[in-house]
Structure 1
């Protein structure tokens, strides 16, 4: 386990040494800050800041987290594209394969390091609605469920992106491929509303966004959390298999 955390610490350090990570954080915060202020002004004009506490949490917090999913769908492929593709392109992946560590430790280490970066984004996004606590009462449980859902959703994004990055040596191709894969798994939820489609309930369950919506509304269901854990575990396992094929 110490090997996993050593790799994770190295990967997290490498992420924050990259200008891309700081650019992503800056752009995400700027856009989400603009959205937050716009939501705040709209709510103040329509209901007033002294409105119902659940209205504040739902209208501002829920809407903010909902918009964040779209933005992060675009951002996460940029953060995962280099995890293995750049290692392969530079040739340093050979050193990883020859090191006395297992492929599972390598994959988990990189994934945990990525989760550290994801946690930073989630904490920064969570600070925005919390700033309203001085002027109104917030539904802390609802906001916490939304943040948890956002973290789990980004965790799934990261696992899928890690797998796609292991398939190629070009980071750009990895980014485009990750975005395409995530978009497909996101949009299959549309099929769940088409009565002419067989197994529409299955498509609804497989969609990434359908499990997030209940968490965004403040409804925590262990089935949603289990879905994201299993989704991430599947792509981590596929990544290990892909690297094992390459090493052998």
Structure 2
């Protein structure tokens, strides 16, 4: 057992020296390539695997030693029944868990390490279980809320159908009213256009009549002047004939 404790101490010291050398290497070189970091991680993983393997082998050896010790204990109890042990038990038997026994503290150390590993594993399992339960609870809540939201949307759509129909009817009425107003405006515009055309035509006719009257008057005046000139000429001819 003392050999196992010394072996574990040596392995821990070797791991610390490896970590220190790796840290010194990182401090000496500012830039480390990806391959070297992967090699360091691989070496650490190998060291941890080697440590667990050594722990398993030591545990098996400890179990074998424990069996041998129990056998030796039974044999010693059978041979030296009344010798007693250093812890001065009341019965006078050899105490297997005596405080003066070095193997006791080695067993306690290994069992404490085992309990610590088991506690870590149980804690991780409990955390994973709690996380999975929380995730399932949140997922179920989300699904329930989604279903409730979809149901509310369907109910609202069913309730909105009469309102939508009323809106469509009002829109159709507005459209018909607008079309009717547009038609009325078109008819009114056409009537106004016709009235304006008629007024323009009447004005043109009046102007033409006025022009015709002015023209006739002017022609009459010209005729009158012409007749007057002819009369004057005839009178002059008569006077000339009389004179000669």
Q: Could you tell me the TM-score, scaled by structure 1's length?
A: 0.26
Q: Kindly indicate which of the two structures has a greater share of residues assigned to helix.
A: 2
Q: Could you tell me the TM-score, scaled by structure 2's length?
A: 0.26
Larger Rg: 2
Q: Which has the higher contact order (CA 8 A, sep 6+)?
A: 1
